[in-house]
Amino acid sequence: MKISAKRAFHFRLSAFFLIAGFSHVFFAPGEASADSLNGLLDIGYARSDLKTTDNSGATTHTQLSSFSQQYRLTLNKSFFPHLTLTGGGIFEKVMTDSDSGGLQTTSTGTKIRPSFDLRLATPLYKAGVGYSRTEDERKTSGSPSTTNVNERNYAILGWMPEGFPDWNVRLEKSDTFDKERVNQDTSAKLALLAVHYAYKGLDLRYQPSYTDQINRIDDLEQKNWTHNGRARYSGSFFQGRTTLSANYEMTRTETEIIASGAGEVSFPLIPLSGLSALDDTPADGALDPNPALIDGNPTASAGQNLGLPPLGGDTRPRNLGLDFLIPPETNTLYVWVDRELPPEIANAFSWDVYTSPDNRVWNLVTTLLPAPFGPFQNRFEIRLPNVTSRFIKVVTRPLTAIVPRASEFPDIFVTEIQAYLRRPADEVRGKTKRTTQTGGVDFRTKILGRPSLYYDFSFNKVNTSPPSRTQSSMINGLSASHVFSRIFSASGRVTREDNRTDDRKEAAYSYTASLQAVPLKTLRHVLLFSGRNEQLVEESRDVYSLMLQNSAQLYRGVEVFLNGGLTKEKSGAGERQEVENLLFGASFVPNRTMTVTLNFNGTWTDRAGGGRPDENTVDRRGDASISYRPFDTLYLLASFSRIERPGINDTTQNYSLNWSPFPSGALQFNFAFNQDLSTRDNAKVQTVRPSLRWNVTSRISLDMSYQVAKADSSTGATDDKTFSTKMRMFF
């Protein structure tokens, strides 16, 4: 195969960096000061042969080959004890050749990102300035090239006197445009002041900000003045028997739209809480609170991973949601992740959008495949029809092995989810104002010490205007617990909840009780009962559940458990649902080198009434696995699963082997055989992947892998063979 002059040049450039890196690693003297110069070289090659066959029997054969390079340089320099300079640059280049059904294309993506940050920091004050520029060039044969640029400048100033309020100022300007400035030309300015004061249990914050966003292509300008103030107090009294916390927050935003052309204006929506869950039945079931999804930090993980799961990992869909308390109108969601994604990875995700009035029953709104991503902001943009709902969520599955380059992305963590209402600019010209106020009180006191008896009270209220809407929630609760003897103990809780939205009132009683018996250290029984009676605006609903949990250690290294439960639900509309659960399992550790586990999980669901046809569903899963580690350098795992649920009735097998022939672990060999099932299109994905990692030195590593992945589904079949190799060097 002939190599073009341009590609030969890049190979020579790579060789030059490699030689320079080896010289630095083996011959450079040690650093004599805190100043440092660090670098990273990443060079990779991958080739993939993909064959897809649809239901009609038509077959498409695609060959892909890519050569990637990344060079990163970072300089840290201290001029004075408190003055430091951090600078560096990143150069990335990916060249891809594609042949699909006889259509040949060549594409090149190049990114250049220089940056610097000058920072002065003392215990009393801080100041800094910074600059970064990202230039992203895309070339595809037969199409004109595109170059997008993002430039960012910022300055910070802060004062932190002990015992007095501390304040921070941030000024920032960002410009995004293509080099010809014909498709994109926007700029954004930000001025922000943050004042904070804390004294004992009191915490006060005030944050005014001003933003000015200009879209020169659509001749649109949006100015926002925002004032946010928060006050929080928490304390304990009467030797800790009583705790009290209170909070109040007000946000006032004034938006001015100056538009003489087309375009859209985005209005941010402020949720009450973030929600998430791993659930393969997204049409029903509640999400759990996840505050990290709305903490305003788009770089910190919120615990939900969209990357390729490891062998035996959790492949259930990721459910990511928001609770607004007062239902707003929404048509745009942003899902932020912690890293940049290439197009073949970003476009592999499918997004289902659901809404719900109660975080229990969800209605599918739309499905989006793919969702636009980036390029300068690591987020997916999900557009949907205008909906008004208290709860909204997006559902997506993690990567599967059939996706090209999926093995390079085992971790793609969701960091934030945001909601917006986009409206045409000509509908919102002029100035608009919006005020949101939230407040709450939480009180808890100990009434008795034996038996332990607590009373708790909480009240929360949200008011928005315009239009003026108010929602409040009040909870009164009693909690009790008592230890009757060395064997028996019990606990319980009763609450009344009152919710009010404008003139609509709802009430609910909920109660839980548990009885625990521990006759032996190795034997434990727990009986759980819970109930909830809701008086809703449109109907009532009653839910009761009873569960028994048992666990025992029969012998040393032999543990078993058996759990079973029944849940009944009835609504005022006559709909009835009954769910039976059974879960049992055992683990055996015959010796220190081997572990055997067995599990069974079954769910039987009956639905009737409410004007719907009767429905009976069965969801059963059995798992068996054995792991064996005869030596510290050798680990083997085998697992088998039998899955029966609507749309799936199949068996999966998984095997893996990890072997380090040398005690130092310099050479690591891995082999994995994995099968996974999906209810979306009745797909079964089978993957065989041997891989090798060689740690040449502590600074140089070489990875090679070969993957064979096959997928059979109701829409067709896919067969993919991929070879990839990557060398990484630090200096």
Report the candidate in 394, 273, 389 with the shortest Cα–Cα distance to residue 322: 273
Between CA 569 and CA 619 the distance in angstroms is 19
Domain match, 670 and 708 both: yes
- Based on the domain organization, do 329 and 398 belong to the same domain? yes
What is the radius of gyration, based on Cα positions, of the chain?
30
Quick one: 593 and 651 in the same domain? no
CB contact at 8 A, 532 and 509: yes
The values of phi and psi at residue 426, to 5°, are -70, -10
Domain extent for 558: 539-544+553-613
Closest CA relative to residue 472, chosen from 509, 508, 498: 498
How many Cβ atoms sit within 10 Å of the Cβ of residue 427?
10
Amino acid at 448: L
List all residues 6 or more positions away from 163 whose beta carbon is below 8 Å from its beta carbon.
Answer: none
The CA-to-CA distance between both ends of the chain, in Å, stands at 33
> Would 5 be classed as within a structural domain?
no
282 with 421, same domain?
yes
Q: Are residues 370 and 281 in the same domain?
A: yes
Residue 228 lies in a domain: no
CB neighbour class for 180 (10 Å; exposed up to 12, middle 13-18, buried from 19): exposed
The answer to the question of residue 105 being in a domain is: no
Domain final residue pick, 401, 427, 453: 427
In a domain, 317, yes or no: yes
Query: Which among 445, 543, 533, 453 has a CA at the least distance from the CA of 490?
Result: 453
- Given this model, what pLDDT does residue 401 score? 80
Element at 21 (helix H, strand E) = helix 5-27
Q: Of 537, 571, 601, which marks where a domain is finished?
A: 537
Q: How far apart are CA 706 and CA 724, in angstroms?
A: 7
Cα–Cα distance for residue pair 302/337, rounded to 1 Å: 9
689 domain residue, yes or no: yes
Is-contact 426 438, C-beta < 8 A?
Answer: no
Supply the pLDDT for residue 33. 42
Same domain for 640 and 701, yes or no, is: yes
Q: Hey, CA dihedral for 357, 362, 368, 370, is it positive or negative?
A: positive
Same domain, 493 and 406: no
Contact 604, 580 (CB under 8 A): yes
Reading the block at residue 557, the tokens are 């290294």
Question: pTM for the full model?
Answer: 0.80
Name residues whose C-beta falls within 8 Å of residue 467's C-beta, 6 or more positions apart in sequence: none
Q: How many CA atoms lie within 13 A of 320 on its CB side?
A: 30
Kindly state whether residue 259 falls inside one of the protein's structural domains. no
List, run by run, the mean pLDDT of 10-residue segments along the chain (731 residues).
Answer: 42 40 38 72 92 85 91 92 93 91 89 95 94 93 90 96 93 93 92 95 95 90 93 92 95 88 82 89 88 89 90 84 89 94 90 91 91 89 93 93 83 94 84 90 94 95 86 94 95 94 87 96 96 84 94 93 95 86 95 94 89 86 94 92 85 92 86 81 84 92 92 84 93 86
Question: How many domains, in total, are found in the chain?
Answer: 4
- What distance in Å separates the CA atoms of residue 32 and residue 16, rounded to the nearest whole number? 27
Q: Residue 315: inside a domain, yes or no? A: yes
pLDDT value of residue 34: 58
Q: DSSP 3-state assignment of 707?
A: strand
Last residue of a domain, one of 400, 427, 454: 427
Residue position matching structure tokens 């809480």: 273
Residues 410 and 317 in one domain: yes
**Given phi > 0 = left and psi -120 to 50 = alpha, else beta, which region is 689?**
beta
Helix (H) or strand (E) holding 331: strand 329-337
Q: Are residues 327 and 422 located together in one domain of the fold?
A: yes
Whether 533 and 557 map to the same domain: the answer is no
**Sign, CA torsion 720/725/730/731:** negative
Do residues 668 and 660 make contact, with C-beta atoms less than 8 angstroms apart?
A: yes
667 and 643, same domain (yes or no): yes
**Number of helical H runs and strand E runs in the chain:** 2, 39
| Of 562, 560, 601, residue with least CA distance to 580 | 601
Q: What is the phi-psi region of residue 535: left when phi exceeds 0, alpha when psi lies from -120 to 50, beta otherwise? A: beta
Kindly write down the DSSP assignment for every residue of 98-153, as one continuous string: EEETTEEEEEEEEEEEEEEEEEEE-SSEEEEEEEEEEEEEEEETTS--EEEEEEEE
Q: Are residues 530 and 474 in the same domain?
A: yes
For the record, the structure tokens of 174 come out as: 């960002």
Question: Is 410 among the domain residues?
Answer: yes
Check: CB of residue 186 under 8 Å from CB of residue 215: yes
CATH number of the CATH domain containing 317: 2.60.120.260
Secondary structure (DSSP) of 155-198: EEEEE--TTS-EEEEEEEEEEEEETT-SS-EEEEEEEEEEEEEE
